[in-house]
Amino acid sequence: MTKRRLAWLGGGLALLLVVAVWAGFSLKSRYCWECSEQELFERGTDLLAAEHPGEWERGLGFMLKAADSGMPEAQLIAAELLLDPWPEQYVPSYPEFAHPLRTEVADRQRALSYFKSLMASKAYAPVVEYNFGLLAEGGVLKSVDSGDAQAFFRRAAARGEVRAMFKVGMQFHQQGDYGQAMRWFDESFRQGGHPQAALMVGDYFFHGRGVPKDLQEAISWYDKTLNSLASGSMPELRSQLLPVAKNRMAIARGYLKRQGGDGVVPVAYHLSGGLNEYRVFAGDPRRQVARVFKVEGGVQAVLTGGEENLQAAGEGGYLGDSMNGGLHWALKMYGEQTYGAGKRFEFVHEKAP
């Protein structure tokens, strides 16, 4: 063989070697061979967020590898992609990945295996625990060692998830414990503007469930419902609740008008405290006018003579089973002392200064 041919052959072999090495690196990079679970996760999220649908399935493949390695965040994304359909009111942790791909790759059993692994890890946010409650409530999680739907909702509510607070309130409502239900509905609205919780409180005042019947207070809560819906809070509830809230507002106003509801005195107030105690401020923003707090066997409310001169509970005070009932009593007493008895008041809750 001539030197020239040998040179051509050597060059060809070198070129093939370069191509082979390049192809190997390209395949290794494309399929993420020897990648860590974090690299798989990052590659998966990048591809799932791509504009081209052709990249989504590759992204899912990387995400499944990361999920199979035990990464909780990857397990959550993979479970949500594989579970189709979601239960009603499910709150996706990654709505940006809610691709049409879900209907093509749906695998309920695999999704449930990821959910259960995630559950065992306890590495999840309160909203995910709320979603577990929905999955259990809807029969998707048919056998859950760590509790039933209500247990999930109670734990999520204790962690500050406002949707779960509403669910706990509905549980007490269905049991006829309106005092406890009102407490959770009020907290759900105060912490997260839950419009359905405000609607339920309005209904309680309209019908006198657990609190004195008060059409003006019902109207105030229906108005809060409408404002919450208008602000975009929980948009998934808007189409369902908007006509209901408008209808109940109209009915309550009609009743109030027939009862002579003109000349209503607005009373602005704000609160401090938490689930077990409200400190009520009205008039001068720095002036505390009442205190509502839990005691053994119920809820007590007292008017105050200022922050340093709390009155003792006595004759004419409030003792009941509802924080909202105590609040309503305190505001009404304050209104009558300030503006005169026999008037109708509109109590307007404002943010603390």
- DSSP 8-state class, residue 312: P
Q: Check: CB of residue 135 under 8 Å from CB of residue 141.
A: yes
What is the token pair recorded at 80?
């949500």
CB-based burial, 284-311: b 16+ in 10 Å, e otherwise: eeeebbbbbbeeeeebbbbbbeeeeeee
Rounding to the nearest 10 degrees, give the CA dihedral for residues 209, 212, 218, 219.
160
The pLDDT assigned to 307 comes to: 39
Q: Which two tokens stand for residue 194?
A: 């839950």
Rounded to the nearest 10°, the torsion over CA 22, 25, 29, 35 is -170
Per-residue pLDDT of the chain (353 residues; tens, 9 = 90+): 565 555 555 555 555 554 443 433 343 445 465 678 788 888 878 888 777 777 888 888 888 898 888 889 989 988 988 888 888 888 888 888 777 777 778 788 898 899 988 888 887 899 999 999 999 888 887 755 445 889 999 999 999 999 999 999 999 999 999 999 999 999 999 999 999 999 999 999 988 888 888 888 899 999 999 999 988 888 888 999 999 999 999 998 888 777 665 566 777 788 888 888 999 988 766 688 899 999 888 899 999 864 333 343 344 578 888 888 889 899 888 888 887 777 778 787 777 76
Residue 271 phi/psi, 5-degree rounding, is -125, 155
**Alpha-carbon distance 214 to 259, whole Å?**
12
Listed in sequence order, the residues at least 6 apart from 287 whose beta carbon sits closer than 8 Å to its beta carbon are: 281, 306
SS3 292: strand
Taking the domains of the chain in order of start, what are their residue ranges?
37-159, 179-258, 265-349
* Interatomic CA distance for residues 248 and 344, integer angstroms: 20
The structure tokens listed for 101 are 């791909």
CA 63 – CA 78 distance, rounded (Å): 6
Whether 95 contacts 70, CB under 8 Å = no
DSSP 152: H
pLDDT of 128: 92
Q: pLDDT at position 175, please?
A: 93
Residue type for position 255: Y
